[in-house]
Amino acid sequence: MFILTMLLLGCNIEQKNADTDEAKIDTDGDGVFSDVDCDDSNPDANDTTNDNDCDGISTTDDCDDNDADSTTIATDADCDSVLTADDCDDSDENSTTIATDADCDGTITEE
């Protein structure tokens, strides 16, 4: 029994896909198969169901989960790519930025 247990622990988890008869592999043993695992060598990495662009930010917190370079809702509430600290109104994606409208009155500041 001990030898059987050691053999099982040393192997990747593998399951056959009923539709294609292909083997599904889970190298890191986190229960997410490699075809949808962002990093199948890291059990803490997200899967593509919860992080489509595999940038480490979950879909619910990511402004654009198809773009790994996009901002997050925590740093850019209106997801307009202007960070909250630089945005005149971070609840309005069409608002001006502090760099272009210093007093945030909606009128572009003359240079």
| Residue-wise burial string across 15-44, b where 16 or more C-beta atoms lie within 10 A, e elsewhere | eeeeeeeeebebbbebebbeeebbbbeeee
Torsion-angle region of 71 (φ positive above 0: left; ψ -120 to 50: alpha; else: beta): beta
pLDDT by 10s per residue, the chain, length 111: 545 444 444 545 555 555 555 678 989 888 889 888 888 888 888 888 889 898 989 999 999 999 999 999 999 999 999 999 999 999 999 999 999 999 999 999 876
Separation between Cα atoms, residue 51 and residue 31, nearest integer Å: 16
61, 7: one domain:
yes
Q: Are residues 63 and 104 in the same domain?
A: no
Which residue type does 38 have? Answer: C
pTM of the model: 0.62
Q: How many angstroms separate the CA atoms of 67 and 54, rounded? A: 9
Query: Domain range holding 62?
Result: 1-68
Number of domains in the chain: 2
